[in-house]
Each structure stands twice: as structure tokens, then as C-alpha cells.
């Protein structure tokens, strides 16, 4: 249909009327339409295109980018099951068979669709029907998912910062205030320079993985002159094996809101947006409750925390796309653009949301701000071991006794985290290796478990610390398969714009499949891997492609024999570096 044809759709008209004046309404409008119709009808999208000034073809393309927008009506929801690192250690096929046959009490289509990690690696395997999560246990039992408990740290005298009160039920405003919440925004308003210098001395850096100093970022946005500025919280925690932000938002939402409010008061932004991944429906509800409570109590609103300055926070829900965790993709997603990463520079500090100066920080980063202001930058800084500053949260999952999130000093040995905190692997088994940064930081083999958990130490090994997800693989696992699963995830989630990443991650996955197939492998396969690594690591347009070679490089570093065995076992001798 040509776009000049007039469309009538009173439901969508009403939704648009409700949302258009609100901040960055694009995603909310689409979700509201989908919630009403069960999908995004053509008539609705045409109206959305008209109101947002987006050509309908472009809008259609943008919608197809996301996993969880549907363009076709569905009578019943499909069954969605996680296929990534910690979960694929389980017998997914058996679980799938079990689900299809069993009466789960939730109507479904009977069609099983594998999805990328929904951030519940501590309680594998998550199964999603509509917006309800079920849990497929190793035993084959399917039950309603219950939130994982927060595992206790060992009593070895280490001080927690973000997790200090997290087990004390501080999710309600009342309890949070009792525990000392919502004090820091006044300080941000009264003494912004002092506030920034505390942040700088704390050594707090971006916990989403990129590690940019938070104080410097806030100061940069503060110094910009603009009509409008924005605070954006990146809660699109989509990296496989990472679920720390979910737990922070569930258990200590007021720390996040407080941190964002401080950022607003420091920089002059009046609106904060939490970009929440679609796969956290329970957080959508609980975080909104926290926002409502804080607004009712005057911590948010026209006179935020009695400072005389306005600050409000809204949630915008993603729609299933890992790349939207890349900050510039996230901003494009909020604006209603095709969520490809932007070329940097310019950076969001000067050209962020709607080209205005914007602070984009991870959930953990914002949550760290209130305790730093409460107890001082130097206090936070000295929590780190040796030269390292502060603490970091690690999500540990896979073949491990006590999966969960642990807050440890930066610089803690990986072995201590795995053994003393997470209880080591199961009896009779040994840890063979772990994935880092979720999965995109590569692999670390058993021989290097003493590596310290700080960015530089991981870099020295050739891996990356990233967003702090660690998936443990015991000695029964095939690490080539583990690498394949990591690469497959990146290939599935590549935005497809830049050639090295789109082609490279797919070819890498195919090559790892070929190695695992047991059939003769192509000649020159190792040289192909090496050439792909080079192009990915040096020419990719964003971090996804740049990081992908960590996986194969670390695989070759720690498990060369396994690769050679596969090649030899395939019956075809292969000279490395041939061609």
C-alpha cells in the first residue's frame, strides 16, 4: 500500500494521544499497541509513522529488528527457551519435549522458539510463555519460576558496598529510607563540584564494561550548554551470563533512582530514562512501584528531594535486542531510529539522546553513587585490592555450586570468587574454564584461575573483564562447543550493519560447528580463523565485533590440543598456516 492512503485506527490514535507528549515515547507506543492487539497491525504502524515523522518503510524495518515485536496476530504465545551458555549446559531438547507435552497452566501454541539469554542464568533454564517465566530444572521438572535468593558471601571480613543492605528487604521506600537512602541528591544540588570530586576520587568507572570514569562523564555533561540534557540508565542487560542489574533493580531500586537523580541534579538534566530490557517484566512492575513511591514522597518530581529542581524518571522497555545495550544503539532505539550503533565520536556526552548532552550509565554504576557520597570517595576506593579501586559485582553461573551475584573487591583472584564465594564446581569434577564478560570477553582456562579480577589483569591474559558475567564449565564440557555457543550468540545478536561483524561472527560459528561435526574439516581452516580474528578485532564498527575474537583466541590459547584432536580425528591432516 502506498503511504498516501489514509488510515483509520482509533485505538492507535488514542494511544498516540496519550503518549506523544511524554519523554522518548516511541517504544512505549509500540508496546501499548502490541499489548492491545497482540501484534503490531499495519494500520497502527502507519499512524505511528505519520505522528513520529518516520517513513513507514523505515518503521517496518526497525520493528523487524527486535525479537519481541510481532507483525502477525498470534492466537497463543509460543514457548521461548534460553539457548545460551549456562542454559545449554542442560539438556534443552529434553526440556523442550517435556514442555510441549505438559499442561503448564498457561495456554501456548506448542511451538518452541530458542531465544538469547534472558538473564536468569542463576536459575536455569528459563522458559518464557507470554510474559510469564517458568523454570525447567535439570531433573526435567517444569515449575513456575521463583526469584533466586541472594547467596551470602563467605565470612572473610570483606566489606560490601552496593550489596550492604540488599538482603534486608530495602526494595520499599520506607525500608530504603530507614537504611539511609535518598540523602545524596541534596549534596548533588548543594555542592556539585564537591560531589564530582568524590566520584573521581572513588575511582568509580562504568560497570557496563567500557570502564569510563563516571565523575569525568558527569562533569563533561555538566559543562555542556544545552536546552535539554538527559540521564539514561542502561538496564538492557543482555550479555549472556550477566544478571547483576536485574538483582540490583529488584532488591535495591531506590539506589538506582537516587543515583540517577544525583546525575540529573549535577548535570542539569530534568528527565531520567531507564532503558529496561524486555525480558525483565517483573522489574518493570517493581521499579515502576519504586518510582511511584519516590514521586509521591517528593524525592522525584518538580522539586526533587527539596532541591527546588525538577527531576523525573520514566521506564522505557526494550524489545529484545542485545545490541541495544551498546549505548548509541540504545539511544537510537529510544528515538525510534533503526538501532544500529552510531559512529563515535561524537560521544553521547555531547550528542546523546535527540542529539542533546546525555549521561548513559549502567545500573550498577548509578547504584554505586549513593554509598560513595555517603561514605566518601576514598572509602570506596580503598575497598579495592592493591592498586585497584572499589568493588564490582560478578554474576556466576554454569557448573557451580552456588550460582548468583557476588560483590567483591576489584582485584580479587578469580579462583577465590569461584571457590570461596560460589562454592566451586560440583563434587568429583574440576573447573576446566570459564567465560568472561558474560561471553564476549573470551575464555579463561583452569591454569589461569589465579588471575585477578580487574580489567588490566584480564587484558594481560588476552581476555576482557567486561560486564562481569562468568559462566563456569567443568571438565566434562567441550570447550570448543562452549566457544561455539558464545560465537553463535554474537552472530545472532550482531546488528548486521558492519561487514566484518556480520560475516565474521557467522563464519566463525560455522567454522566452530565444522570442527565439532566430526567430519573432515576444510583445508586452511586455522588460517581462516586467524584472518577473521584480525579483521574483526581491528575493523569492526562497535564493541560486539571487536570483542568476538577473544573467544577463539582464548580457545586456541588454552585448548590447542582439543582443536588439533578435532582436526586429526577428522582424518585430514592440516598444516597450520597453509595457504
Partner 1 sequence: MSTEMKMVIDGAEVSFKEGETVLEVARRQGSFVPTLCYDERLDPYGSCRLCVVEVEGRRLPASSCTLKAEAGMDIRTGSDHIRKMQSTLVEMVLSENPGDECPRCRDIGTCEVHELAEEFEVSRDRFLGAISNASKDDSNPFLLRDYDRCISCYRCVRICDEVEADHAITMTGRGWNKGIATAFDGGLMDSDCTLCGQCIYTCPTGALADKKMVNQGSKPGEIEITRSVCPYCGTGCSINLHSLDGKMIGVTPVLDGPVNEGALCVKGQFGFDFVNSEDRLTRPLIRKNGELTPVSWNEAFDYTAQKLLSVRDDHGPKAFYAIASGRAPGEGSYMLQKFTRAVMNSNQVDNCSRG
Choose which of 200, 402, 497, 557 interacts with partner 1 (CB under 8 A).
Answer: 497
Q: Is 110 in the site for partner 1 (CB under 8 A)?
A: no
Q: Which residue has the cell 574440576?
A: 430
Q: Is 338 in the site for partner 1 (CB under 8 A)?
A: yes
SS3 176: helix
Q: Measured in Å, how far apart are the chain's first and last C-alpha atoms?
A: 52
Among 21-29, 57-65, 305-313, 429-437, which window interacts with partner 1 (CB under 8 A)? 57-65
Choose which of 17, 20, 22, 57 interacts with partner 1 (CB under 8 A).
Answer: 57
Residues in the chain: 579
SS3 424: coil
Among 138-146, 406-414, 427-435, 493-501, which window interacts with partner 1 (CB under 8 A)? 493-501
For the bound state, the minimum distance from the C-beta of residue 21 to partner 1, rounded and expressed in Å, comes to 26
Choose which of 14, 18, 35, 58 interacts with partner 1 (CB under 8 A).
Answer: 58
Q: Is 524 in the site for partner 1 (CB under 8 A)?
A: yes
Q: Is 114 in the site for partner 1 (CB under 8 A)?
A: no
Q: Which residue has the cell 531520567?
A: 272
Contacts (CB under 8 A) with partner 1, residues 122-141: none
Q: Dihedral through CA 375, CA 380, CA 381, CA 386, nearest 10? A: 130
Q: Is 535 in the site for partner 1 (CB under 8 A)?
A: yes
Choose which of 78, 137, 503, 557 interacts with partner 1 (CB under 8 A).
Answer: 503
Q: Is 455 in the site for partner 1 (CB under 8 A)?
A: no
**Cα–Cα distance for residue pair 430/442, rounded to 1 Å:** 19
Contacts (CB under 8 A) with partner 1, residues 537-576: 538-541, 546
Q: Is 402 in the site for partner 1 (CB under 8 A)?
A: no
- C-alpha count within 13 angstroms, C-beta hemisphere, residue 149: 4
Please work out, in degrees rounded to the nearest 5, the angle formed at the alpha carbon of residue 361 by the alpha carbons of 251 and 67.
80
Which of residues 143 and 538 has its CB atom nearest to partner 1 in the complex?
538
Q: Which residues contact 278 (CB under 8 A, 6 or more apart)?
A: 67, 68, 317, 318, 319, 320
Among 84-92, 121-129, 175-183, 530-538, which window interacts with partner 1 (CB under 8 A)? 530-538
Q: How far, in Å, are 483, 523, 526 from residue 519 at the CA level?
A: 18, 12, 16
**Omega before 346 cis (within 30°)?**
yes
For the bound state, the minimum distance from the C-beta of residue 65 to partner 1, rounded and expressed in Å, comes to 5
Among 31-39, 104-112, 394-402, 487-495, which window interacts with partner 1 (CB under 8 A)? 487-495
- C-alpha count within 13 angstroms, C-beta hemisphere, residue 85: 39
8-state DSSP, 236: -
Q: Which residues contact 84 (CB under 8 A, 6 or more apart)?
A: 116, 117, 240, 241, 439, 485, 489
**Cα–Cα distance for residue pair 246/119, rounded to 1 Å:** 8
Q: Is 26 in the site for partner 1 (CB under 8 A)?
A: no
Among 64-72, 92-100, 166-174, 241-249, which window interacts with partner 1 (CB under 8 A)? 64-72
Q: Is 183 in the site for partner 1 (CB under 8 A)?
A: no
Choose which of 14, 17, 20, 55 interacts with partner 1 (CB under 8 A).
Answer: 55
SS3 336: coil
Contacts (CB under 8 A) with partner 1, residues 265-324: 321, 323
Q: How far, in Å, are 34, 229, 419, 481 from residue 115 at the CA level?
A: 19, 35, 31, 18
**Cα–Cα distance for residue pair 516/521, rounded to 1 Å:** 9
Q: Is 103 in the site for partner 1 (CB under 8 A)?
A: no
For the bound state, the minimum distance from the C-beta of residue 83 to partner 1, rounded and expressed in Å, comes to 15
Q: Is 496 in the site for partner 1 (CB under 8 A)?
A: yes
Q: Is 479 in the site for partner 1 (CB under 8 A)?
A: no
**Site residues for partner 1 per CB under 8 A:** 1-3, 42, 55-62, 64-65, 71, 321, 323, 338, 343, 491-500, 502-507, 510, 522, 524, 528, 531-532, 534-535, 538-541, 546, 579
Amino acid at each position: 500500500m502506498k503511504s498516501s492512503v489514509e488510515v483509520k485506527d482509533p485505538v492507535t490514535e488514542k494511544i498516540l494521544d496519550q503518549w506523544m507528549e511524554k519523554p522518548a515515547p516511541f517504544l512505549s507506543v509500540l508496546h501499548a499497541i502490541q499489548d492491545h492487539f497482540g501484534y503490531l497491525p499495519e494500520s497502527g504502524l502507519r499512524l505511528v509513522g505519520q505522528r513520529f515523522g518516520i517513513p513507514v518503510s523505515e518503521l517496518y524495518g526497525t520493528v523487524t529488528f527486535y525479537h519481541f515485536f510481532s507483525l502477525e496476530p498470534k492466537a497463543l504465545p509460543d514457548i521461548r527457551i534460553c539457548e545460551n551458555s549456562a542454559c545449554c549446559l542442560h539438556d534443552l531438547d529434553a526440556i523442550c519435549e517435556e514442555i510441549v507435552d505438559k499442561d503448564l497452566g498457561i495456554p501456548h501454541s506448542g511451538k518452541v522458539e530458542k531465544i538469547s539469554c534472558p538473564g536468569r542464568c542463576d536459575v536455569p533454564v528459563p522458559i518464557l510463555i507470554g510474559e510469564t517465566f517458568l523454570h525447567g530444572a535439570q531433573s526435567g521438572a517444569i515449575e513456575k519460576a521463583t526469584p533466586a535468593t541472594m547467596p551470602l558471601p563467605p565470612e572473610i571480613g570483606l566489606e560490601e558496598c552496593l550489596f550492604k543492605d540488599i538482603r534486608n528487604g530495602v526494595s520499599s521506600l520506607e525500608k530504603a529510607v530507614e537504611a539511609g537512602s535518598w540523602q545524596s541528591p541534596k549534596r548533588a544540588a548543594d555542592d556539585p563540584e564537591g560531589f564530582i570530586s568524590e566520584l573521581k576520587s572513588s575511582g568509580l568507572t562504568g560497570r557496563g564494561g567500557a570502564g569510563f570514569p563516571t565523575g569525568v562523564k558527569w562533569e563533561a555533561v555538566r559543562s555542556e550548554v544545552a536546552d535539554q540534557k538527559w540521564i539514561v540508565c542502561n538496564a538492557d542487560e543482555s550479555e549472556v551470563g550477566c544478571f547483576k542489574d536485574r538483582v540490583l533493580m529488584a532488591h535495591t531500586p531506590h539506589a538506582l533512582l537516587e543515583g540517577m537523580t544525583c546525575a540529573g541534579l549535577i548535570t542539569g538534566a530534568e528527565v531520567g530514562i531507564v532503558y529496561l530490557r524486555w525480558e525483565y517484566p517483573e522489574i518493570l512492575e517493581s521499579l515502576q512501584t519504586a518510582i511511584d513511591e519516590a514521586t509521591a514522597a517528593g524525592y522525584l518530581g518538580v522539586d526533587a528531594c527539596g532541591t527546588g529542581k525538577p527531576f523525573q524518571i520514566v521506564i522505557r522497555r526494550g524489545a529484545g535486542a542485545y545490541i541495544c545495550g551498546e549505548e548509541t544503539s540504545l539511544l537510537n532505539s529510544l528515538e525510534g531510529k533503526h538501532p544500529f550503533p552510531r559512529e563515535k565520536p561524537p560521544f553521547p556526552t555531547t550528542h546523546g539522546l535527540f542529539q542533546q548532552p546525555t549521561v548513559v550509565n549502567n545500573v550498577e554504576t548509578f547504584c554505586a553513587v549513593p554509598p560513595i557520597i555517603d561514605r566518601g570517595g576514598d572509602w570506596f576506593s580503598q575497598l579495592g585490592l592493591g592498586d585497584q579501586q572499589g568493588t564490582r559485582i560478578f554474576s556466576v553461573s554454569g557448573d557451580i555450586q552456588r550460582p548468583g551475584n557476588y560483590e567483591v573487591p576489584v582485584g580479587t583472584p578469580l579462583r577465590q570468587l569461584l571457590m570461596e564465594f560460589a562454592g566451586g564446581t560440583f563434587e568429583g569434577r574440576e573447573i576446566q574454564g570459564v567465560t568472561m564478560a558474560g561471553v564476549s570477553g573470551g575464555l579463561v582456562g583452569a591454569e589461569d584461575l589465579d588471575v585477578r579480577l580487574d580489567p588490566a589483569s584480564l587484558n594481560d591474559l588476552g581476555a576482557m573483564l567486561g560486564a562481569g558475567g562468568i559462566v563456569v564449565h567443568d571438565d566434562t564440557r567441550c570447550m570448543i562447543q562452549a566457544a561455539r555457543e558464545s560465537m553463535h550468540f554474537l552472530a545472532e545478536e550482531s546488528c548486521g550493519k558492519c561487514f566484518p561483524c556480520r560475516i565474521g561472527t557467522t563464519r566463525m560459528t560455522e567454522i566452530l560447528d565444522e570442527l565439532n561435526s566430526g567430519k573432515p574439516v576444510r583445508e586452511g581452516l586455522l588460517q581462516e580463523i586467524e584472518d577473521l580474528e584480525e579483521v574483526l578485532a581491528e575493523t569492526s564498527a562497535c564493541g560486539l565485533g571487536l570483542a568476538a575474537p577473544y573467544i577463539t583466541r582464548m580457545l586456541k590459547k588454552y585448548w590447542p590440543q582439543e582443536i588439533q584432536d578435532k582436526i586429526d580425528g577428522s582424518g585430514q591432516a592440516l598444516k597450520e598456516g597453509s595457504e
